[in-house]
Amino acid sequence: MLAGRETEELVKIGIDLGGTKIEAVVLTDQGEQVFQQRVPTPQHDYQATLLAIKGLVDDAEKAVGETCTVGMGIPGTLSPVTGMVKNANSVWLNGQPLDQDLKALMGREVRIANDANCLAVSEAVDGAGAGKGMVYGVIIGTGCGGGLALNGKVHVGGNGVAGEWGHNPLPWQNDVDRHHAEHIECYCGKPGCIETFLSGTGFWKDFSLTTGQSLKGAEIVELAKQGDAEAEACLVRYEQRLAKALGTMVNMLDPDVIVLGGGMSNVERLYTNVPPLMAQWVLGGECATPLVKAKYGDSSGVRGAAWLW
């Protein structure tokens, strides 16, 4: 137990199982983070992924001197029909009974939710959406997903996909969008998915498709700041596509706030440029929905995983 703290405060471990990293934190009941650790995600190796998660839990509990509850966000969801992981862009997780395998490995229940749902819960509990009835959380990182928190709780839905948008087609596609969709395929096998446009991966692939240059997303953003016309045009396309996709979600859900997480959420100009564009695609031609950055940044999802308990 950490010196000066009551044992009952240290009860929650959150795990964020990402495509490139796995992160663990320990939160007190008051939301104070008292432990954090990250390790690389084993690629295409399910058993190694299980052991990496257990190793993080062991290290966390050793650090705080207590057995804790464990919640985890994943880039997919557990099927309510089969109990297996589905829809994960970390494809080696699909078809696996992840919660049951972790329970057998660690001897306790592990609560699992979609990573975007975890983002939404984190921001609804004590983040940028605190006090709001409906928080729509959007991840625009390696992949692209969405999740809902209603009154601070995850809303999963009967199929486990409530709030998902990344594998719907980008709405109101123009000729440039259709050209993009024809040349950039989605791992799910369907054409024109929002993920292929709005994920960080989709962003740099769009730049590559247009210019023939292969650059990281941060490099493209920096070029735009320096006045590079191709990089600026790529960002403008991104902003227009994000506005279309979010406008559709406002039409369907009309959330109290939209919170962005993931690597692309760090592009500050999105919060100035996208809201006015959204109004073009919202019924009635107006949109007052706040678009805000996740308070806890890259750690918002892992905090939400801890709050699953």
Q: Render pLDDT for 135-148 as a digit per residue (tens, 0 to 9).
A: 999 999 888 999 99
* pLDDT for the residue 243: 98
Query: Which whole number is the average pLDDT over 185-194?
Result: 92
Burial of 19 (0-12, 13-18, 19+ CB in 10 A): middle
pLDDT in tens, 108-120: 999 999 999 999 9
- How many percent of the chain have pLDDT more than 70? 97
Statement: the pTM of the whole predicted model exceeds 0.85:
yes
Long-range CB pairs of 267-276, under 8 A, 24+ apart, other chains included: 267/221, 267/235, 268/293, 269/235, 269/239, 270/239, 270/242, 273/239, 274/239, 274/242, 274/243, 274/246
User: Which residues neighbour 18 within 8 Å (Cβ) at sequence distance 6 or greater?
Assistant: 41, 75, 90, 115, 141, 142
pLDDT at 1 over 80: no
* pLDDT for the residue 10: 60
Q: What are the chain's domains?
A: 7-119+299-306 (3.30.420.40), 131-293 (3.30.420.40)
* pLDDT for the residue 3: 45
Structure-token match 């950055």, residue found: 293
Which residue type sits at 260?
L
SS3 305: helix
Closest CA to 76 of 181, 169, 184, 166: 166
Query: Using an 8 Å Cβ cutoff, are 108 and 303 in contact?
Result: no
Closest CA to 101 of 140, 145, 47: 47
SS3 307: coil
User: Which residues neighbour 201 within 8 Å (Cβ) at sequence distance 6 or greater?
Assistant: 142, 143
pLDDT at 54 over 70: yes
- How many percent of the chain have pLDDT more than 90? 82
Q: Which pair of tokens denotes residue 300?
A: 């918002």
